[in-house]
Amino acid sequence: MPQFVHHKAALDGSGLPPNSLAAVRACLAAGAEWIEVDICALAEDDFLLVHSHDLQVETSGRGEVSTLTPADVRDLRLLQDGRASAHPPALLSEVVGLLAEAGGAARLQLDWKDHTPYPSREPLERLARLLAPLGRRALVSSMADWQLSRLAKAAPEIELGYDIHLYIEHDPPGSTPETGALPRSVGAYGYRDDHPLASTRWGTSAAYLAERCKGLLALAPSATTFYCNHRFLMRCLADGFDWVQALHAAGKVADAWTLDADDSAVLADARMLAERGCDLLTSNTPLALAALLKEDKR
């Protein structure tokens, strides 16, 4: 049975803003195994729980997260349905404090949104200092392998996770990638992939995917957990390659994101990936998804 990751501290339609301190508190009260939140570095001392560096996307503020201090964000409010809510954006120090006080086994995944290398080691050391009270209960994940490499050197005690999709992705039929999304081109095997191995068909799809998997494992050797879009994983299975099996063979943990129980097609993917031994399932409906998969086992 996989473990369930509460995406942005989601709790099955709780009505609480994503990434808010109240949402994290509710997940802890519900017995969450994993709570995932997004972080961006402030100008000093702390990190802010937001997905975008542009404050106006998720908060009542304006400008870039990196220009503000913790004191500057106290008067901001998280947006909900386009309006300012009663909830201020959370600081990483506050979330760590909540988990440390709660004790127990709940783990925290920090989806690190700072992809541009920092001008100094200070933010890396800051992150390590803030996470120290949680020890191995914290994991920092990123799509930026270069950032993970820097963090591994600055703070080798922090467990790391790697999302592969800056390098390879598959778009469902009829969908269009966001403007500027990486990878930029669709390769010979039907995946968005700018790597030379995707430029022409030289073997089976399964052989191509196996080579890409090897290369991506080498980009983030310190990562214990690899994060993959569930639709990508299912397309690869149809092409004869099982990422979960390959990651397990390399000694890695496999996470599939983001699987919500209120979509029948997505639920079918969750069931298949659970049967294949996927270790973690990230969801906005973690309680419902867990209940349905547990029911399948009876």
Predicted model pTM: 0.97
Residue 129 confidence (pLDDT): 98
Give the CATH number of the domain where residue 288 resides: 3.20.20.190
Residue 295 pLDDT grade (very low, low, confident, very high; cuts 50, 70, 90)? confident
If one counts the domains in the chain, the total is: 1
Strands 280-283 and 253-257: parallel
Domain that holds residue 214: 3-296
Averaged pLDDT for residues 23-30: 98
The pLDDT of residue 123 is 98
Residue range 43-65: mean pLDDT, rounded: 97
Is pLDDT above 90 for 10? yes
Reference 140, options 207, 40, 42; nearest CA is: 40
As a whole number of angstroms, the distance between CA 206 and CA 212 comes to 10
In percent, the amount of the chain with pLDDT more than 70 equals 100
Mean pLDDT of 3-17: 95
pLDDT tens figures, 146-201: 999 999 999 999 999 999 999 999 998 888 888 889 999 999 999 999 999 999 99
pLDDT (tens digit per residue) in 83-136: 999 999 999 999 999 999 999 999 999 999 999 999 999 999 999 999 999 999
pLDDT at 237 over 80: yes
